[in-house]
Structure formats: structure tokens, C-alpha cells
């Protein structure tokens, strides 16, 4: 069994996902879903995403990708490439005999772009509206199989949860 690599992201109508280093919406239901899906898992993120979150996410293995060889964060593993992050994640899951646990890539834009070819699944939240984002999620048209869909509204935002596979 090979560890599944999943992307988890929220986007607007134009696939915008960030504005000035932050999510341009606050949807508690999406944050709850993120927490439920990623708790106990390995999460991989770029340094800018880590900076925007501002802290280690508890009860998860946090792996941060940066080109800065001297970058260190207490409580996180810091690597210099996506390949290194994936290799380390698979080693950890293999040593725990826990390959079905999976790996979650949580952003940002550059890390998502690099991940599209190796990802097995996308947990996507589509937020209705255009939020004038400056960071966008890449084309995901290869992910044609829709495994799950749920509509909702929270905090004044209409959204759709999707689970997609290639």
C-alpha cells in the first residue's frame, strides 16, 4: 500500500486562495473540516503558508519547505524541497506501519503547483464569490472523479465541499 498524497485547499470562483498572505474569507465549517481531515496526519506546507498560519498546527507532523538552509522552527521538520518532504513523510509512515494514514499538502501556491502531478486526491472547498485574490490554485482538471460533494452556508458564505481523484 502506498501512502495517498492529498491536497487540501479552499478557493473562490476564480480559484483564488489567498490575498496578501491570508485567506480572504472566514468559514468556520471549512476550518473544522480541515482540522478533522488533517489531525493525526502529516501536513506539508511552504514557508509562506507557515508564516500566514503563524504557528505549528497541533496533533500533526508539520513539515515546512523552504530554500533557506538555516531556517528552523521548533516542533516542525524543515526541508528544502517537496521531494525531500514526501520522502521523509513516506519513511515516517512506513516506520509507523501506517501507510494508509496519508499525507496532506496544505499550500501555498508554489507547493500546490509542484504537487499536482504526484497528488492522488484533492479535498476542495469552493467558496462562492470573487475575493480579488493574488494567489491562485493551479489547474486541477485532471481530477475528474468526484467522490463526495456537500453544499453549505456558514458565516454568510456559500460553499461546496468536494473530494476529487484523478
What's the confidence (pLDDT) of residue 49? 97
CB atoms within 10 A of CB 47: 18
Percentage of the chain beyond pLDDT 70 is 98
Does domain 5-165 fall under CATH 3.40.430.10? My reply is: yes
The pLDDT assigned to 144 comes to 95
Kindly report whether the global pTM for this prediction surpasses the value 0.85.
Answer: yes
pLDDT beyond 90 at 63: yes
Q: Where residue 165 falls among pLDDT bands split at 50, 70, 90?
A: very high
User: Cα separation of 67 and 100, whole Å?
Assistant: 29
Q: What is the pLDDT of residue 94?
A: 87
Of 49, 63, 66, 40, the C-alpha closest to 10 is 49
Above 60 in pLDDT, residue 1?
no
Amino acid at each position: 500500500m502506498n501512502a495517498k498524497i492529498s491536497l487540501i485547499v479552499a478557493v473562490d470562483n476564480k480559484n483564488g486562495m489567498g490575498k496578501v498572505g491570508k485567506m480572504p474569507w472566514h468559514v468556520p465549517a471549512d476550518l473544522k473540516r480541515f482540522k478533522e481531515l488533517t489531525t493525526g496526519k502529516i501536513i506539508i506546507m511552504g514557508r509562506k503558508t507557515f508564516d500566514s498560519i503563524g504557528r505549528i498546527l497541533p496533533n500533526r507532523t508539520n513539515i515546512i519547505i523552504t530554500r533557506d538552509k538555516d531556517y528552523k522552527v521548533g516542533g516542525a521538520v524543515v526541508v528544502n524541497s517537496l521531494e525531500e518532504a514526501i520522502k521523509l513523510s513516506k519513511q515516517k509512515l512506513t516506520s509507523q506501519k501506517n501507510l494508509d494514514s496519508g499525507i496532506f499538502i496544505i499550500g501555498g501556491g508554489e507547493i500546490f503547483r509542484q504537487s499536482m502531478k504526484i497528488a492522488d486526491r484533492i479535498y476542495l472547498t469552493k467558496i462562492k464569490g470573487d475575493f480579488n485574490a493574488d494567489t491562485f490554485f493551479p489547474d486541477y482538471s485532471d481530477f475528474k472523479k468526484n467522490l463526495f460533494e456537500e453544499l453549505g452556508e456558514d458565516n454568510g458564505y456559500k460553499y461546496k465541499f468536494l473530494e476529487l481523484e484523478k
